[in-house]
Amino acid sequence: MLAIDLQGRRALVAGVADDKGYGFAIAKALAEAGASVSVGTWPPTWNIFAKLIERGKLDRSRTMRDGRLLEFERIYPLDAAFDTLDDVPEDIRTNKRYRDVGDYTIAGLVSQWRRDFGDESLDIVVHSLANGPEVRNPLIETSRSGYLAALSVSAYSMVAMVRHLAPLMSSDGAFMALSYLAGQRVIPGYGGGMSSAKAALESDVRVLAHEAGRRYGLRVNCISAGPLASRAASAIGEIDRMVDYVARNTPLAESLRSDEVGQAAAFLCSSLASGITGTVLYVDKGYHAMGMPVDQSLL
């Protein structure tokens, strides 16, 4: 039987703060395939997430197919808007949600990872990070600062993570990012520069595949996933309508499940995908292929 086997592989999934989003589903799928998984969590939710796990509040969603519970090797505080502590503004540095969690920057995570696991100890990195403070604003009404903030966290952080983490990775390691169709098509309501950030992310994946491949032998891919009504996506404001619209107009005529994205990610990060890099894989029930609504009432 040909199976995804990640035994002996160590993974980091950046952008997991609860059990509802694609990041958690990917972490679970990697673990079910045998990988040891750590996560990076936004500092204001880092302690809350750790406590929920400790108190068994997430046991149901952590239960894997063989009955074991998903266990994280480490839960690191991570704010990927900052490469180093020198980049952190004073108001954030002194904020009570940040000041007691240690070095939560990308460089800080790398330093702690090296202390915890040593060099050449990382095989898989998943970028499940996105934030646009003005996501509910039409692009034409988005401020310069809001636009740049969306690009910083949602796209540039992938560049920074590859630069900082690649030296820690095994020679056949894999990076993977999460994108959305708004990087290629107009999605009304997905504003604040987030569509631009997704387009930049997909372009960066192609360039990074070349650069990290030639320099380190690493693969870099991306999944463009259909909409999911996660807690993070609720910031969009129209996420339920987006999910319903897509479900009514996909070739498979059903809603996308988070575990389907998780399984696709596990494949891309495995040796079964050793010949795939620089690719954007659509996991959206085929919605990206449609040119007009199937539901005629939507015309």
The distance of Cα 34 from the centroid of its chain, to the nearest Å, equals: 20
180 in active site = yes
Q: Which of 147, 190, 282, 287 is catalytic?
A: 190
Helix/strand/coil (H, E, C) string of 142-201?
CCHHHHHHHHHHHHHHHHHHHHHHHHHEEEEEEEEEEECHHHCCCCCCCCCCHHHHHHHH
Q: Which of 76, 180, 282, 287 is catalytic?
A: 180
| C-beta contacts of 27-30 below 8 A and 24+ residues apart | 27/70, 27/72, 27/126, 27/262, 28/61, 28/62, 28/64, 28/70, 28/259, 28/262, 29/259, 29/262, 29/263, 29/265, 29/266, 30/6, 30/124, 30/126, 30/262, 30/265, 30/266, 30/269
Cβ count near 280 (within 10 Å): 18
Residue in this structure with the two tokens 């046991």, named with its chain if needed = 59
Helical axes 194-216 vs 144-151, angle rounded to 10°: 30
192: closest CA among 260, 252, 271, 137?
Answer: 137
236: closest CA among 286, 174, 185, 191?
Answer: 191
Structure tokens at 11: 């993974």
Alpha-carbon dihedral sign for residues 236, 79, 208, 127: negative
Report, as residue numbers or ranges, the catalytic residues.
180, 190
